Chains A and B, each alone.
Chain A
């Protein structure tokens, strides 16, 4: 028994070593950085231990802006993308002809590079000296006046941001949901039809509970993914997100480390821990809330 244990540990050793060096140690380091006040990167010195870094970050207007942006993105994109993906998946699973073609089309954004997609969105939305962009041309056609979506008002930029995020995250959700729908035994639907259930009731009483573990998985990972948003913002608004007013928490962390005004690992660490606390709390709430709703068969 003991010998076996030793063997098991031996097998695990490479993984433990790697995880230790590249995950556990940095994690501890982040915690350490976050409480070292007035840490100087060049001299590797600090003046004291406390929550000064957190205080600084939380009162930094750039951080509060990033926090606000992140929460807006999460609150809009997670429910919308999941809901839309569910609708599209239901549509996909109820058609027979062209189903594969549609599935491929809906999956395309997933295999397309984020920056390439960002470029396409720029062409669609950006106002330049030569053209107002395709969307603006459409708006003009219906009698509206042009809006600068990339460098204009905050709500316009946020609209493009959310649109973009939803468009990028939806393919994966559609893929997962269609396979979840396909795995529901057709006999349940037949039974429900013979029992006289309307299609709305079949959806609420049969389909939704049956795929609830998948929906729940998508919501949790959707929340976490949206809280970690950063690259999509860069793709649309460039690297100077603070100037654009479109920074996110992860963007703020990056800026504090490597940005033009960077070199403050302590502030970055504090911001990262605040993000962790937020994600942890939200996930915990999700888990508690869904305990009675999600049906594991």
Chain B
């Protein structure tokens, strides 16, 4: 089921200043295609969870519409929207067993959708098998690990076969190893069920690794929508460029003069077709190539060995962050006590942003 958001806006009364409004979701206008896994990505407090609550119906929008397929669900209460929602803390009912938890949504069905006890059990087992917890059916949630609880929560959200599955920070309560495993699992479950799935995360790596499409937002505004690689390779603005990628993109203040890009006094790159102006220069860590005759000189700080690669930490007077991180092959050798390092830059890893609007040039 495709999900369409039309001019969706949600304003809250500010808790601190009376009468003032906080815009949690500002004029969202996009379409989420059917059967895909979508990552809603942004820093804390950017309105991700509010967006999810709006889609689920737990919150009502101030303005705008939400459509599932062609059906307008804006006015529908959550139970009639046919959504499955997985909470960040899973919200498993602690006094019910795994099976009772999974069956709970089925027991609420009314009218001709009503199911027999046997059919509900069948359905629960089927769903539990999908998320591989069918051997834990009689346990209580507290007897399960975090990862298992998460699967129960997903099973409970899926058992009614929702039109849209929503997950709020699904991996944030898991430890690092489990997180990797679970995100593959999420991908698999989504593929097998084909349910349009939207998950919220502040972890860009998580979003990039499993999403078909990511939506990057900040302060209630959508900054970019696209396939993960596209968004990474072609960030729309400085925020998106900085938010995606670890280590973070390195940002310098620079200027374009005579179709050459200057950082400090050095012309580091040819930028044909760009007019003269002050810019922010973003260079991805993998965009540096060590070269004794390279045009870009940095002050060497230290080298961090990461095995396959090394991370060179250096500084430059024009940088905006604490240091510059460049990831290069470990085949490069560095002399101890080396004071400076010179780089060539890969043109497609260098992005220019307007100094004022911070939009990509």
Seen from chain A, the residues whose Cβ lies within 8 Å of a Cβ on chain B are: 185, 187-188, 190-198, 201, 205-206, 209-210, 295, 297
Centre residue among B57, B79, B89 by max chain A CB count within 10 A: B79
Nearest B residue to A190 via CB reads B58
User: Contacts A196-B79, A297-B94, A297-B142 hold; do A205 and B104 have CB atoms under 8 A apart?
Assistant: yes
Interface of A is mostly: helix
Q: Would you mind naming 19 contact pairs between A and B with Cβ atoms under 8 Å apart?
A: A190-B85, A190-B87, A190-B91, A191-B85, A193-B77, A193-B78, A194-B58, A194-B83, A194-B84, A194-B85, A195-B104, A195-B108, A196-B79, A196-B80, A196-B160, A197-B108, A205-B93, A206-B93, A295-B95
Given contacts A185-B89, A187-B87, A187-B89, whether A195 and B105 have CB atoms under 8 Å apart is yes
How near does chain B come to A220, taking the closest CB pair, in angstroms? 20
Select from chain B the residue with minimum beta-carbon distance to A197: B108
CB contacts (< 8 Å) of B58 on chain A: these are: 190, 193-194
**A191 and B95 alpha carbons, distance in the complex (Å):** 15
CB < 8 Å neighbour of A191 from B57, B87, B107, B142: B87
Q: Which residues of B are interface residues toward A (Cβ below 8 A)? A: 56-58, 77-80, 83-85, 87, 89, 91, 93-95, 104-105, 107-109, 142, 156, 160
**Beyond A196-B105, A196-B109, is A295–B94 a contact (Cβ under 8 Å)?**
yes
Chain B residue nearest in CB terms to A195: B105
Q: Indicate which residue in A185, A205, A295 contacts B91 across the interface (CB closer than 8 Å).
A: A185
* Distance in Å: Cβ of A190 to nearest Cβ of chain B: 6
Please indicate which of the listed interface residues A190, A194, A295, A297 has the most CB atoms of chain B within 10 Å of its own CB. Answer: A194
Whole-angstrom distance between the Cβ of A213 and the nearest chain B Cβ = 11
Cβ-closest chain A residue relative to B100: A205
Smallest CB separation, B79 vs chain A (Å): 4
CA distance A205 to B56 in the complex (A): 22
B58 CB to closest chain A CB (Å) equals 6
Of A185, A194, A197, A198, which one neighbours B56 at CB under 8 angstroms?
Answer: A194
Residues of B contacting A187 in the complex (Cβ-Cβ under 8 angstroms): 87, 89, 91
CB distance from A200 to the nearest CB of B (A): 11
Q: List residues of chain A with CB within 8 A of the CB of B94.
A: 210, 295, 297
Considering the complex, give the chain B residue whose CB is closest to the CB of A208. Answer: B95
A192–B108 CA distance with the chains assembled, in angstroms: 9
Q: A198 to B108, Cβ gap below 8 A?
A: yes
CB pair B79 A193 closer than 8 Å: yes
Q: Which residues of B contact A198 (CB under 8 A)?
A: 108
Inter-chain CA distance A188–B101, complex, in Å, is 11
Set B78, B91, B105, B107: member contacting A188, Cβ < 8 A: B91
- Say whether A209 contacts B87, CB under 8 Å: no
Minimum Cβ distance to chain B for residue A149 (Å):
44
A210 touches B95 (CB 8 A): yes
* Contact indicator A195/B95 (Cβ below 8 Å): no
Query: Once bound together, how far apart are the Cα atoms of A201 and B91, in whole Å?
Result: 17
